[in-house]
């Protein structure tokens, strides 16, 4: 079973039959928050400017599941491609953590399916007008019309960048 089918089976998308399986999304990552591993969190801050003296104690352990995943049952991740959202700090190769339980609101960043293609953009809404906005001036806004096949798959709650 592919991830596309697994996500759809678990309620992560109501896809039109014309879309299946020709446009199976690539790069969707299943998020599992079942393990609880924690790492030490140093209570002192690490300066990016001038060095500061280190404190000799640790804060409470940090669980990355709690830090990154707000709602495990409604969360998936997707690897980012393209540079339309670099102004928002989302770069190619990043992993966007997507919460399907959040309702999109004006100016939030969403993963949306638009005319059979996945995109990450800023969701904009004024009254009944909806459009998608890039955070890069090289890209134009995308107006959502009655002729658009449009579905928000979720709101991006976190973005992870591997160095």
Stretch 62-87: mean pLDDT: 90
Phi-psi region of 75 (alpha: psi -120 to 50; beta: other; left: phi over 0): beta
17-31, 43-57, 116-130, 133-147: range with lowest mean pLDDT: 17-31
Question: Could you report the per-residue pLDDT of 85-130, keeping only the tens digit for each?
Answer: 999 999 999 999 999 999 999 999 999 999 999 999 999 999 999 9
b/e per residue, 96-120, with b = 16+ CB within 10 A?
A: bbbbbebebeeebbbbbbbeeebbb
Domains of the chain: 3-36+72-160 (2.10.109.10)
Stretch 46-65: mean pLDDT: 68
Question: What are the φ/ψ torsions at residue 69 (nearest 5 degrees)?
Answer: -105, 115
CA angle 91, 93, 95 (to 5 degrees): 90
Q: Tell me, what's the pLDDT at 122?
A: 98
Confidence of residue 65 (pLDDT cuts 50, 70, 90): confident
Q: Which active-site residues does the annotation give?
A: 84, 121
Q: Tell me, what's the pLDDT at 8?
A: 55
More confident call, 90 vs 37: 90
132 forms bridges with which residues in the sheet? 123, 142
CB contact set of 115 (below 8 Å; sequence gap of 6+): 148, 149, 150
Stretch 49-61: mean pLDDT: 63
Contact assessment for residue 109 and residue 87, using Cβ atoms and an 8 Å cutoff: no
The Cα–Cα gap between 19 and 117 comes to: 10
- In terms of Cβ atoms closer than 10 Å to its own Cβ (0-12, 13-18, 19+), residue 91 is middle
Stretch 126-143: mean pLDDT: 97
């Amino acid at each position: 079973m592919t991830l596309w089918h697994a996500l759809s089976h678990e309620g992560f998308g109501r896809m039109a039959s014309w879309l299946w399986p020709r446009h199976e999304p690539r790069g969707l990552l299943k998020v599992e928050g079942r393990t609880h591993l924690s790492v030490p969190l140093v209570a002192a801050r690490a300066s990016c400017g001038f060095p500061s003296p280190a404190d000799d104690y640790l804060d409470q352990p940090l669980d990355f599941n709690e830090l990154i995943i707000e709602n495990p049952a409604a969360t998936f991740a997707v690897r980012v491609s393209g540079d339309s959202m670099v102004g928002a700090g989302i770069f190619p190769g990043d992993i966007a953590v997507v919460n399907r339980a959040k309702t999109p609101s004006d100016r939030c960043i969403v993963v949306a399916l638009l005319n059979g293609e996945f995109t990450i953009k800023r969701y904009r809404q004024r009254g009944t007008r909806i459009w998608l906005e890039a955070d890069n001036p090289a890209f134009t806004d995308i107006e959502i019309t009655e002729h658009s096949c449009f579905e928000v798959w979720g709101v991006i709650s976190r973005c992870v960048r591997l160095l």
